[in-house]
Amino acid sequence: MEKIITFVAAHDVAFVFGILLFFGLVEALFGYLSQSKRSKGDVWIETINAFALFLFTKPLITFLGYKTMQFLLPNQANVLKTMPFWGGLLLFLLVDDFLQYWYHRSAHEYKWLWKWHRPHHTATEMGLLVSYRQAVYYYLLMPNIWWMGIFTFLGGGLPLSIGLILKQIIIISSHSLATWDSFFHKRPALMPILKVLERIFITPAFHHGHHAESKIDNIGNPNGNYGNMFSIWDQLFGSATFSHAFPTTYGIPNDPQDDWTAHVFYPLVTSDKAGSELSKAYQFEKTTVLEPATMVLEPGAYLYCACGYSKNQPFCDGSHHGTKIQPVRFTIQKERSYKLCQCKLCEKAPFCDNSHLTKSI
């Protein structure tokens, strides 16, 4: 076993690219690539970032993490060298994944970071290259890349190499169109196995749900399912939704179709698309009004804007991305007139309970 671990660790780069190649081949062989509606801009965003990450950002940040430790805690070099391999592997992966969970979650809850993470969510179809769609600066602050440098300094080089390969398998498979969990979805007798696996690891359905355009189909969970390798953090911090189906639509609502240069280099390059979050003229401001909206609703599912930023009140238009608030899904059974809250003060929201008469915005 020791020999295998040493061999794999010594060829970690080849394994990482081998995993990419494997999923790429599966996507090509099963026709996902030929059916792809990816634009040239999509391909630019994905390839520039993949190259920037592997050739520049990861080596630079890992080096800086290492050097920072050397400067701050020089006596701690190689303290983990004597740690058993499996303990080191678990330590590396758990800290790495915990850091990435919170960084990823912050990228959905803070507007400035959301704009760097947004390219990851403008993809309207999944695929292995979606893994690398970000603004180029997004990875500079990613704490788990710093953790790689720190862990190397502490003497964890071997578990780190193996950990990166295991992470790569989960990350690529959770973005890929080659969804291995579909095998279980079609075989009810095997579902108990999947139900155990998904409580530990991120499955394709779990992560595809995160890339859904909205949660209106009751499958998507774009403001949750933040985990990278393990689903334990989502379960611990209340952001997990397990679904055994795949979303009907991917992307972000009302995507203004920004040029790829704005996606990759914002704020150095801004978008010229009206209303885009990446444009200079973009205003992030409340659109709440006191008076409720009275309207006839047909039976069906709706998303009520709870954040107060939608330009299509009282319904969600996706403006809540970059805040901690998410829309409220509600269903209507009977066609008739409804009074929907627009002051965002009603306890019975989405329905008006006349709070606007007694409270102030």
**Site residues for ligand FES per CB under 6 A:** 305-307, 309-310, 316-320, 325, 327
Q: Which helix (H) or strand (E) holds 40?
A: helix 40-51
* 64 backbone φψ class: left, alpha, beta (φ>0; ψ -120 to 50): alpha
* In the complex, least distance from residue 322 CB atom to ligand FES, rounded to whole angstroms: 10
DSSP states of 180-246 = TTHHHHT-GGGHHHHHHHTTTB--HHHHHHHTBS-STTSS--TTS---SSBSHHHHHTT-----SS-
Q: Which helix (H) or strand (E) holds 295?
A: strand 293-297
* In the complex, least distance from residue 312 CB atom to ligand FES, rounded to whole angstroms: 8
* In the complex, least distance from residue 305 CB atom to ligand FES, rounded to whole angstroms: 3
Which of 199, 195, 289 is closest to 244 using CA atoms? 195
CA-CA-CA-CA torsion for 157, 162, 165, 167, nearest 10 degrees?
-90
* In the complex, least distance from residue 279 CB atom to ligand FES, rounded to whole angstroms: 18
Which residue's CB is nearer to ligand FES, number 151 or number 302? 302
* In the complex, least distance from residue 320 CB atom to ligand FES, rounded to whole angstroms: 4
Tokens of 331: 């269903």
DSSP states of 315-341 = B--STTTTSS---EEEEE-S-EEEEE-
Which residue's CB is nearer to ligand FES, number 104 or number 320? 320
* In the complex, least distance from residue 344 CB atom to ligand FES, rounded to whole angstroms: 9
Which residue's CB is nearer to ligand FES, number 177 or number 305? 305
Strand partners, 315: 304
* In the complex, least distance from residue 329 CB atom to ligand FES, rounded to whole angstroms: 10
DSSP states of 143-165 = HHHHHHHHHHHTT-HHHHHHHHH
Which residue's CB is nearer to ligand FES, number 173 or number 319? 319
Q: In whole angstroms, what is the distance from residue 289 CA to residue 285 CA?
A: 12
Which residue's CB is nearer to ligand FES, number 254 or number 261? 254
Which of 338, 340, 251 is closest to 304 using CA atoms? 340
Which residue's CB is nearer to ligand FES, number 163 or number 327? 327
Measured from each CB, the residue nearest to ligand FES is: 316
Which residue's CB is nearer to ligand FES, number 155 or number 350? 350
Q: In whole angstroms, what is the distance from residue 240 CA to residue 182 CA?
A: 19
* In the complex, least distance from residue 310 CB atom to ligand FES, rounded to whole angstroms: 4
Which residue's CB is nearer to ligand FES, number 24 or number 314? 314
**Would you mind telling me the total number of residues written for the chain in this entry?**
361
Q: In whole angstroms, what is the distance from residue 69 CA to residue 76 CA?
A: 8
Q: Which helix (H) or strand (E) holds 61?
A: helix 58-72
* In the complex, least distance from residue 276 CB atom to ligand FES, rounded to whole angstroms: 15
Which residue's CB is nearer to ligand FES, number 91 or number 325? 325
Strand partners, 296: 337
